[in-house]
Amino acid sequence: MVAEPKDKKLKANDEETTEIDGDLVLSIEKLQEIQDELEKINEKASDEVLEVEKKYNEIRKPVYDKRNEIVKAIPDFWLTAFLSHPALSELLTDEDHKIFKHLTSIEVEDSKDVKSGYSISFNFSTNPYFENSKLTKTFTFLDEGTTNVSATSIKWKEGMGIPNGVENDKKGNKRTHLEESFFTWFSEIPQSDDDINDEVAEIIKEDLWPNPLTYFNNDADEEDFDGDEDGEEQGGSDEDDDDEEGEDDE
């Protein structure tokens, strides 16, 4: 049996490899075409979702306004909702509680095109702490993928200022001190527009704002529960007293 020349084998292997490489390139090109098609569908879907969101934002607006009017008639509504929220409650100092008693409404508004950002506003009645009737923090999403943050400068009345005494110079957006006033949030403006992650804003916008009644009711439910427990304990004590009186009669 005569062995095949070495160069013939190499040539055959090269042709086979070229054929495999050609098939691989063709498959990748087809796959890329599919991905491009999916990308176009996703972009179209995103645009349509934004249009739907814009439509329903306009429908929700008068309903939110009506809710705010009702909330104004409920004493300490927003203070109670904040204090009942597992995350937000940790951000309020005792002095903040006094200021929040003057909080009449909260508003969360998306930009008109939805995708450009949103703002969170706190509306206050006349109070002894600051001149502002409205404090707003705005998040603007820029084209290059960064976020610009701006906020109302609080005009504290004489002798007031940040309730914990000192307004710290913030370089980031993380809250580090448990006793730090909630109102320092309005002065927490990141030095860089990159990688903005304002947890307080996200919690208010995505959790508290859609249904604050959930947290307001939590507090009421807990009070009712405590009252029931007290009633049971008192009831139990009365029964024990009756038993003891029965034993004395015997």
Residue-wise pLDDT for 78-87, tens only, equals: 999 999 999 9
Map residue 179 onto helix, strand or coil: coil
CA 166 to chain centre: 26
> Predicted confidence band at 177 (pLDDT cuts at 50, 70, 90)?
very low
Mean pLDDT of 128-135: 97
Average pLDDT, the chain: 80
Q: What pLDDT, on the 0 to 100 scale, is given for residue 188?
A: 85
Indicate the range of 5-9, 44-48, 49-53, 213-217 predicted with least confidence: 5-9
Cβ proximity of 119 and 106 under 8 Å: no
Q: What is the mean pLDDT of residues 225-249?
A: 50
| pLDDT exceeds cutoff 80 at 6 | no
Do 184 and 172 meet the contact criterion of CB atoms below 8 Å apart? no
Answer yes or no: is pLDDT of 104 > 90: yes
What average pLDDT does this structure show over 5-16? 58
User: For residue 115, what pLDDT is reported?
Assistant: 85
Question: Is residue 249 pLDDT above 70, yes or no?
Answer: no
Distance CA 138, CA 148 (A): 8
Q: So what's the pLDDT on residue 238?
A: 52
- Do 135 and 156 form a contact (C-beta atoms < 8 A)? no
- Choice between 155 and 11, residue whose per-residue pLDDT is larger: 155
pLDDT confidence of residue 17:
63
Of 95-99, 170-174, 184-188, give the lowest mean pLDDT range: 170-174
Contact residues for 206 (Cβ-Cβ < 8 A; gap 6+): none
Q: What is the pLDDT of residues 36-85, one digit of tens each?
A: 999 999 999 988 988 999 999 999 999 999 999 999 999 999 999 999 99
Mean pLDDT of 223-244: 49
Please tell me the predicted confidence (pLDDT) of residue 23.
81
pLDDT of residue 212: 96
Distance CA 190, CA 198 (A): 10
- Report the pLDDT averaged over residues 127-142: 95
Q: Which of 31-35, 175-179, 194-198 has the highest mean pLDDT?
A: 31-35
Residue 5 has a pLDDT of 56
User: Would the pLDDT of 173 be above 80?
Assistant: no
Task: Report the pLDDT value the prediction gives residue 34, as an integer from 0 to 100.
Answer: 96
**Which residues have CB under 8 Å from 163's CB, separation 6+?**
93, 95, 96, 99, 181, 183
